[in-house]
Every structure is written in structure tokens, then in C-alpha cells.
Amino acid sequence: MTDDLIRPRTPGRRVPGVLTRERERPERVRSSPGAWRPAVATVCLGAFMGQLDASIVTLAYGSLRAEFHASLAAVTWVSVAYLLTLVALLLPVGRLSDAHGRKLLYLHGFVVFTAGSAACALAPDLPALIALRVVQAAGAAMMQANSVALVRTCAPPGRLRLALGVQAAAQALGLALGPLTGGVLVSTLGWRWIFALNVPVGLAALLAGHYLLPRTRTRHRAGGFDWPGLALLALATTGLLLALSLLSRPAVPVPWTVALFVLAAGATSGFTVRQRRAARPLLSPALLRDRAVRLGLTGALCAYLVLFGPLVLVPLALTARGYSDLSAGLVLSALPAGFALAAATADRALPYTWGGRARCTLGAAMATGALALMLLLPWDATSLTPLLALLGLGLGVHVPANNTLVMAAIPARSSGTGGGLVNMARGLGTALGVALVSLALQLPVGTDGPRRAVLTLLLVSLTTLAVARSLRFRAER
């Protein structure tokens, strides 16, 4: 695929500088038939680092508490601040990338992420670390909001589902390696190295992106920016995520949680009204009028909820039954391993004639079956390991096909916004998975909390299956 043509310099017209202009790839790279593969690999590097950094920090809680003499509630804000910032910025950053260039925003995101990581490694106290995690998350949002759109730009006709599968596999690999890598670094070199590790990787990704990523071929220059819409969206997502976090903490007064849910609902309503009336909305209402987009985003949220729920449930359940942390971690690794395997290979392993609806339905059915068996079989390593692998395989088939639906239904000029929506659904699904499982484990109903949590995930998986059966794909790339 070729890059955009460089506009000739005309008198009186300022040519953008290196910080505001996407640089073309070398001719040797652009003309190569397989140029899309290293471009997708470069995007996968950002997807891998984003998930690795999200999961690696939890292993440092103990060290952070000891060094900064802080409570566990205070230390968890190192993760909470990152997640709040990331989810709130995904959509607006995607909108900006549609107007100013997806490669440009992606590479700037790596600059911010890498600089933020280096600063986190040198943080003098806990408040500074939390503030710097916000900076780091802003860079991660610039990468993640553009990752799906860049994959769509890179992938040739007929290869989009495969490319999105590889990108999803990179995310799963980062998720799987996060706890292991974090444990090794914290126990040997110290917690600061979980952030310092990002610096050389970020510099390598910047170099690779400069030479391997294509420039934006279609732009959506609406002019201006919807700042009130951004404020309402940030208020809605922050209120919702904080409410979900408090929902899983029984010691927090109920009125606080209710107030945050009300705040989130009010801000969401205000955001919806604003987008309908704004001359230049942050999110064009026309995008969500498409039934395929609405169903696809619902399927993405439910699938990621089912994926992340067991990441909280399984370690708690197994350690309570006498398993060591290492044994529980090895059992749990079957889930992201299965996800990564299916996401990377399902496009070729399944019949080529199968459309996206059939693939989404098969994946959701596999995940539903795995969760149903978890309700019936004993909760031990022998039973759980293959069931978690089956759950991961099913979600690994479903997610890339579902994301292909969303991106195929969104105009190319709005790919950044669409990618932001997909990743926003993933972030909200992650938070919901953690909150619902934690709540199910703590409810004073019955005696078997883990099975109650699995039943909750099963109901969500059935919803995913129902959505998958309702999908109708447009012409796929």
C-alpha cells in the first residue's frame, strides 16, 4: 500500500515540521508486497506493552507499600489512575488521530509513554508516581486508540481479520507475561525496573514505527474540538469506573457508590445530548446508529468481561484451596495462552468460507461451554487448566472476528474513532469483569463464591452468544 502523496510547497503556506507531519516510509519498504507484516508487528509491539504494563504493576504493590509506607488502598491508585485516564482518553484521541494522522499520534504516544515510564522509575514518592502514571496512561491511550485503525490501514484486502487476530494475540501475550515478568523484576532488581523496562522497548518501537508504519490515507478534518464533550465523557467514565471499584469493596458506604453511579449516568446523558447538538461532536451519532457497530461494541465489552473475570477469580479460588501462588499462576496462564493461540491462528485454521457471524458464534459458544463445565466439574488444577484453555480459545476466535465487524462498519476516515471505541469497550469490560467477580465472591448468599462468580460470567457469555447470532457482517477486508 502506498502512503499519501506529499503536497507540494506553495508560497505563503507553511509546511508542517517533523513533529506535526507524518513521515513517509522509505520507497524500499513501501513497494514491498509484504510491507504490511512488519507494520502490523510494530503495532503489536505497542499492544503488547500496553497490556504488559497494565498487568505488571499489581506485582509491585507490596514493594510500594514498604518503600512509601502507604496503605494498600493508596497503592492501588497506581493502577486505578492509569485505567481511569486510559479509558477517558481513548475516544477523544481516536478522534484527533482521524483529523491529524494516526501514525503521528501513535508515535507521539510512544514518546509520551516512554518518557512517562522513565519518570515513573525515578518517582520520589507515591503521589508523584500516581501523577506520572497519568502521563504514562495518556501515552498509552495515544497508542491504543490508533492500534486498530493502523492495522486496518496496513492490512491488504482479505487479511484484516488475520491482522486483528495477531494484534489481539499480542495483547493476550502481554497480559499473560505481565505477572510473571513483574514477579521476577520486583524480586530481583526492584519495582522501579518494571517501569524502566519500557524505555528501551519504547525507543525501539519509535524507530520501527518511523520506518515501517504507513501514513494516514484518509482524514476526517471537521475543524475544532468538542471540549465540553470531552469533559462529560471523562466524567462519565471516571464515575463509572470508580463506582465499579467501590462496588467490590464492602467497607465503602453504599451511598458513595450510588452517588458515583448517578453521576456517571447523568454525565452519560449529558454527553449523549451534547453529541446530538454539537456542530463538531466528539463522537458522531451516525456511527452508533449503525446496528452492526452497536452490537459489535456490546460483544466486545461482554467478551473482555468474560476474559478478565477469571484473572481475578482463579488465583483467589485456588489459593483458598491450598494451591501456591505459583501453581495458581501456572493454571491461570492457560487462559491467555489459549486466547493468543486462537487469535493468531483461527483465521487460517477455520474454513475460509466461514463469515464473521459464524466465527463469532463459534467462539462465544466455546466460551459458554467452558464456563458451563466449570459449574459442574471440581475446582482443581486438573479440571480447570483445560477449561481455561477452552475459554481462551473461544474468546480468541470471537474477539478478532467481532472487532473486524466494528471496523468494517465504520468509514475509513473515522477509523481512529472506531479503534478508540473498541478499546474503550475493552477497558470497560475489564473493569466490569473485575468488579462483578469481586462482588459475587463477597455476597453473603450461599457458600460457594467461586461458582457464584462463574454463574455470573456464564450469563454474560450467553449474552455474548446471543449478540453473535444477531451479527450481520458487511463486506470484509
On the question of pLDDT at 6 being above 60, the answer is no
Max mean pLDDT among 49-53, 231-235, 287-291 falls in 231-235
Predicted confidence band of residue 19 (pLDDT cuts 50, 70, 90) = low
Look at 113-127, 243-257, 291-305 and tell me which has the smallest mean pLDDT: 243-257
Q: Using one digit for the tens of pLDDT, what is the confidence trace for 153-175? A: 777 777 777 787 787 778 777 77
Asked if the model's pLDDT at residue 42 lies above 50, the reply is yes
- The residues, ordered by sequence, that sit 6+ positions from 324 with a Cβ below 8 Å of its Cβ are none
Buried (b) or exposed (e) across 359-398, using 16+ Cβ within 10 A?
Answer: bbbbbbbbbbbbbbbbeeeebeeeebbebbbbbbbbbbbb
- Report pLDDT digits (tens) over 358-409: 888 999 999 999 999 998 888 888 888 999 999 999 998 998 888 888 877 7
Average of per-residue pLDDT values in the chain: 78
274-324 per-position pLDDT tens digit: 877 777 776 777 777 778 888 888 888 899 889 888 877 887 778 778 777
Q: What is the pLDDT of residue 444?
A: 62
Hey, which of 63-72, 184-193, 391-400 has the most confident mean pLDDT?
A: 391-400
What pLDDT is recorded for position 14? 45
Q: What is the pLDDT of residue 389?
A: 92
pLDDT of residue 354: 80
Name the range with the highest mean pLDDT among 176-185, 186-195, 273-282, 432-441: 186-195
Query: Is the backbone of residue 399 left (phi > 0), alpha (psi -120 to 50) or beta?
Result: alpha
Is residue 36's pLDDT more than 90?
A: no
pLDDT at 423 over 80: no
CB-based contact 441:247 (threshold 8 Å): no
pLDDT in tens, 96-116: 777 777 788 888 888 999 999
Work out the pLDDT band at 12, boundaries 50, 70, 90: very low
- pLDDT surpasses 50 at 13: no
The lowest-confidence range among 3-12, 27-36, 107-116 is 3-12
Measured CA to CA, the distance from residue 93 to residue 472 in angstroms comes to 28
